[in-house]
Amino acid sequence: MTVATPEKTSPSKVSADGAAKPLDVGPRIRALREAMNLSLRDLGERTGVSAPMLSQVERGETSPTLTVASRIAAGLELSLSQLLRLDEGEGVTVVRRADRRPGGSRARGHSYALVTPSLPGQRAEVSTHSLASGIATGGPGDPPMHEPGSRETALVTGGTLRLVCAGTGYDLHEGDAVTFDADLPHHFENPGPHEARFVAVVSAGLRRS
């Protein structure tokens, strides 16, 4: 999904700004630390990072390495990716049933539609799927493999469904849900006699523009 075609994406410098964002993680760290009622030395004790270093990072005077940033995140009891999450996205967007563009083909037995706006900055893509009896996802025209690091949740809203992920099968019935790493090879099958319907949520599929 999203972008990242395994093609020659090079010809255009994606953003070229290079400088990217000022990365003002400092105030965030300070806010989190103060929210925990920790002094710089306290946090230094917990993280193994010196208090002056923490002070400089909080004020944005230096950019810590990933190792120390990871230690700081651990000391704040969150993962590094959580600590660095200061992305964006704003407002309210309604996607009408009639407006969304369907994918797949009902003739082949698998049809789906994206119900979240296809805008950058989206953190979770939600889609509805319908799978005919005996059919499996992964045919031509289906959404391609997800990008590395993404995770997926499938919630069965009708019928029975079977997830095959990394060679292992998981049978799901109506109301069941499954969460898994979406970058592993996987597909869904419909073993039952009836049509299967499910909602898929792929997270972390955001791209930059």
Which of 148, 185, 187, 194 is the binder for a second copy (CB under 8 A)? 148
Q: Distance between CA 24 and CA 58 in Å, rounded?
A: 9
Residue 19 within binding range of a second copy, rule CB under 8 A: yes
Determine the size of the site formed for a second copy (CB under 8 A): 103
Which of 55, 56, 176, 195 is the binder for a second copy (CB under 8 A)? 176
Which of 9, 63, 93, 168 is the binder for DNA (CB under 7 A)? 63
32 binds, among a second copy, DNA, none (CB under 5 to 8 A by kind): a second copy
Say if CB 122 and CB 89 are below 8 A apart. yes
Residue 70 within binding range of DNA, rule CB under 7 A: no
Return the closest-CA partner of residue 29 out of 49, 15, 9. Answer: 49
Question: In Å, how far are 1, 66, 85, 184 from 80, measured between CA atoms?
Answer: 25, 9, 9, 22
Which of 9, 15, 39, 105 is the binder for DNA (CB under 7 A)? 39
Residue 64 within binding range of DNA, rule CB under 7 A: yes
Task: Kindly indicate which of the ranges 36-44, 78-86, 123-131, 184-192 contains the residues binding DNA, using the contact rule CB under 7 A.
Answer: 36-44
Cα atoms found within 13 Å of the Cα of residue 62, Cβ hemisphere only? 11
Question: In Å, how far are 73, 103, 178 from 130, measured between CA atoms?
Answer: 41, 11, 17
Which of 102, 139, 144, 149 is the binder for a second copy (CB under 8 A)? 149
Residue type, 134: G
